[in-house]
Copies of this chain bind each other. A is one copy, B any other.
Amino acid sequence: MSGVSPTKEDHVDVLIVGAGPAGLMLSTWLSRCGIKTRIVDKRGTKIFNGQADGLQCRTLEIFDSFDFANRVWRESNHMIEICLWNPDENGIIRRSSRIPDTIPGISRFQQVVLHQGRIERFFLDAMKEHGGLTVERGVLPVSFSFDETKAGDFDDYPISVELRTLSDQESTPSQRQQHHKSANGQESTVEDGLFRSNLVADDTDDLIRSTQNTTNQKELVKAKFMVGCDGAHSWVRNQVGYKLEGDSTDYIWGVLDIIPITDFPDIRHRCAIHSASEGSVMVIPRENKLVRLYIQLQTTDYNKTGIKADRSWITPSIILQSAQRILHPYKLDYTYCDWWTAYQIGQRVGNNFSLQERVFLAGDAVHTHSPKAGQGMNVSMQDTYNLGWKLAHVIKGYSQGSILKTYESERRQIAQDLIAFDHRFSRLFSGRPAKNIMDEEGVSMEVFQKAFEKGNEFASGIAVNYSASQIVAKEGKISSKPQLATGIDIGKRMPSFKVLNHADARPWHLQELLKSNGRWRIIVFPGRLTEPCNMQRLQTLGKQLEAPDSFVHRYTPPEQSIDSVIEVLTVHQGPRADIELLEIPNAFHPYHSDIGWDYWKVYVDEESYHEGHGQAYANYGIDPSRGASVIIRPDQYVSWVGEVDEYEEMSRFFSGFMIRQAVGKGTVDGADASLATPRL
């Protein structure tokens, strides 16, 4: 630790450095779980415009689990169709094909665009509503120390960080306000985003130096865990001595957010436009009549200065002129520009994602790449969505610390896949179109379209498939029976289809029942309950779950509601009219003495009056005469599939990493079964 004497000292479970989307996702998760958290950011304000803005289907599903996808869905621009434009035999650009932007059926959401400032607002509002955690802005971590001797005890605080509060002036980023004239002669003031582009140096070190001898407020924070969500120039990553590995290309891209005045017919579609020899443009239609254009700047003409590009020549006019040449013979102009920037493509992945599972890195701190595929913000948020519940469960003493190792094993693979995807996609997009089949240096437009279509699945975020581990029972000592639910992939997120609440017949997407509140879930699909053998198996399972030493009781603190750690949901195959809720065993709709039966646990796969038939059994590939049970992680990823009544295997799964509660709280499972306290 450095030699200063901070005036205050605080103890927290988790210190988050950086309040961009990755940091805010984590702080939202932790505040939902009731974890003592602080989140600091060196910037004095949040983002107001510009910045990353494509949102994957999977990201919207996650937002919905925190109850604000609806706000995004309403305010965003929905991208429905991609149009590919390529040069024809005369070198004139033509629309060569239309493809859906989101593969139909892949998710209940489609890819949308909304600027990062609004996303951050929704996170901040969500934190305010649940727990009241706020971001400490203009606060800079200036020193770090790690006491390895304390790393083995999760009740101890091995991390010490000194924080300093910056003055308003120090914490205001040097965004430039430019007066510029557009092609039609009108003047306007436009914000640029160059201060966060990778064409300029980071200012963290300068900030630390400049605050060294000031009287700024200082504080020492002791933390159980620290997470660096502090971007490509991550201070946390530098403290733990990790590196990003990879390289930069010499492509430079300009970005314009404008209200376009154009006769180009597909300006409100997402477009990939390859001109014959002037480079490429990606069109991303946005909210509020805006369109974002990613425009290839001809580096060979303009830039000879090597890897760290000189950017002094880049202006909105230069970028617009490039776009005009690429879009010719169509016209393009604007009077309103909302934001602009420029960047150079660099693809890098961190060599390590954590220091002894006490300090973690997430988001741009461990992966950087080009923005055009709309992936960065999504993958960054999904990093901390993966990490959040694991930290919460270890801190609460529900889980052994070993589950934290799965953060790196699961997310580093995703980062590598992302970089490979981006590398291939960027090369195809930046390349000159092939003139003909003999033109081997050029990019074949057929190859490009195939890559685009394949990339679409990756880009949805739905394809993520976590490998086998303690918490993903794909192989090893806990055996799944994937053949019982052929529509459910172990390691992927639980697909969603509509089911009806048994008690009130209201249709819900199954995923709407899987809110991010930290609960593990067992979804029991007992099949058709009018078949006596199915009802019999459900009764058997119900008795085992209700037993005082069942795993549900064992892992739930005695003072908490029985569904607070492992929630049991049931989806039967009806018919609803033939079965009363109270004929279904109590374990599946628990009774509370003050509010009666729980009417929100049992669902049925049946046609609704107004929203069609979800065909859940058919879509999940579950045989209604046999059924299945599915264990789902708190982040909606599937851990295990087995028989309806395979109680022992479920119990073995949870005993692999969970910690017995009750009198023996903190005791590793198996120590003394008789200590468990029976409850409801």
Question: Could you list which residues of chain A lie within 8 angstroms of chain B, going by C-beta atoms?
Answer: 70, 74, 77-78, 80-81, 98, 100, 102, 104, 110, 259-263, 265, 267-269, 285, 289, 335-336, 501, 503-506, 577, 580-582, 593-596, 599, 608-610
Contact = CB atoms under 8 A, between A and B. Distances in A.
11 contacts: A70-B70, A80-B610, A81-B505, A259-B596, A261-B594, A265-B580, A265-B582, A285-B504, A289-B595, A335-B595, A336-B594
Contact of A609 (B100, B505, B595): B100
A40 to B, nearest CB: 32
Contact of A504 (B74, B100, B263, B268): B268
A85 to B, nearest CB: 14
A504 B267 CA distance: 8
A110 B269 CA distance: 33
B104 A610 contact: yes
B102 A610 contact: yes
A77 B260 CA distance: 43
- The complex is assembled from copies of this chain, and their number is 2
Interface centre among A503, A505, A608, A610 (most CB of B within 10 A): A610
B504 A609 contact: no
B582 A78 contact: no
Nearest to A81: B505
Nearest to A186: B594
A614 to B, nearest CB: 14
A311 to B, nearest CB: 29
A102 B70 CA distance: 24
Given A259-B596, A261-B595, A336-B594, A268 B104 contact: no
Contacts of A582: 263, 265
A664 to B, nearest CB: 33
Contact of A262 (B81, B263, B596): B596
Nearest to A79: B504
A503 B268 contact: yes
Contacts of A506: 78, 80
Contact of A102 (B501, B596, B609): B609
Contact of A269 (B260, B267, B336, B505): B505
A608 B77 CA distance: 16
A608 B599 CA distance: 36
Given A110-B610, A267-B599, A335-B595, 19 more contacts: A77-B504, A78-B504, A80-B504, A80-B505, A80-B506, A80-B608, A80-B609, A80-B610, A81-B504, A81-B505, A102-B610, A110-B609, A260-B596, A261-B593, A261-B594, A261-B596, A265-B581, A268-B599, A269-B504
A103 to B, nearest CB: 9
A599 B582 CA distance: 54
A225 to B, nearest CB: 34
A512 B581 CA distance: 38
A595 B337 CA distance: 11
Contact of A336 (B80, B261, B595): B595
A484 to B, nearest CB: 29
Contacts of A504: 77-78, 80-81, 268-269, 285
Contact of A335 (B78, B260, B336, B594): B594
Contacts of A505: 80-81, 269
A262 B104 CA distance: 44
A504 B82 CA distance: 10
A231 to B, nearest CB: 32
Contacts of A70: 70, 74
Nearest to A285: B504
Contacts of A100: 609-610
A33 to B, nearest CB: 23
A357 to B, nearest CB: 38
Q: Which 8 A-B pairs have the closest CB atoms?
A: A261-B596, A268-B504, A268-B503, A80-B505, A100-B609, A81-B505, A265-B580, A335-B594
Nearest to A109: B610
A289 B592 CA distance: 13
Contacts of A261: 593-596
A594 B259 CA distance: 9
B259 A609 contact: no
A219 B417 CA distance: 71
Contacts of A267: 503, 599
Contacts of A596: 259-262
B595 A98 contact: no
A81 to B, nearest CB: 5
A284 to B, nearest CB: 12
A268 B601 CA distance: 13
A501 B269 CA distance: 11
Nearest to A600: B289
Contacts of A74: 70
Interface centre among A100, A505, A596, A599 (most CB of B within 10 A): A596
Contacts of A269: 503-505
A203 B289 CA distance: 53
Nearest to A80: B505
A570 to B, nearest CB: 16
Contacts of A336: 594-595
Contacts of A80: 504-506, 608-610
B577 A98 contact: yes
A110 B580 CA distance: 24
Contacts of A98: 577
